[in-house]
Amino acid sequence: MKKALCHLLFLSALFGGAASGPAQIMKTSDSGIKTNRTEQATFGGGCFWCLEAIFEGVDGVKSVTSGYAGGQKENPSYEEVCSGGTGHAEVVQIEYDPQKLSYDKLLNLFWQAHDPTTLNRQGADAGTQYRSIILCHSEAQKQTAEKSKRETAATLGAPVVTEIVPLTRFYKAEDFHQDYFRKNPHARYCTFVIRPKLEKLKPKLAKP
């Protein structure tokens, strides 16, 4: 569904005044700890518009940035990622306050926000760019993610196909994709895909 819209949305952003130039690299420390004592988590679970809208509503989350990671091409564009040829997944990078929110709790919500048992697919969105993936900022995150994955697989009673890999580089997506649900609440994708997920997860979200 979303893949079919990629080219149209890219052209809309290009000619409609939204920023659609090359994605910018966001630098991240190896520890994932920033100078203001926040930490980062990077997840991919289908369309980044969905995960962004979900995690923005969590108490303790400072910001959520949509972008691309996990592939080979430097500075990819949305259209290139949509083609499936860059190796990148659509991901969100979450900045959060570890005094209010643990990485383990973020993982628990991540598992509920998508189906981690479907390979390279979330609903009608198909392709490696929509794969389930956790990109770790540290060895501690890797160990926590692997433990959480095992527990989730046991709970679901099905194999979990989520990749767990180190984060090398995160490329911020074009401005058009940031805060997409908030800016476009009545768009078809928001109405029929994102909003039902938010309603389902509403009890888990502490922010209004």
Active site residues: 47
Q: How far apart are CA 90 and CA 126, in angstroms?
A: 12
How many H-runs (helices) and E-runs (strands) does the chain carry?
Answer: 8, 9
87 within 8 A of 80, measured Cβ to Cβ? no
Kind of pairing, strands 61-69 and 24-26? unpaired
Which of 204, 24, 173 is CA-nearest to residue 106?
Answer: 204
Distances (CA, A) of 59 to 40, 102, 105, 148, 198: 15, 11, 11, 21, 15
| One-letter amino acid of 31 | S
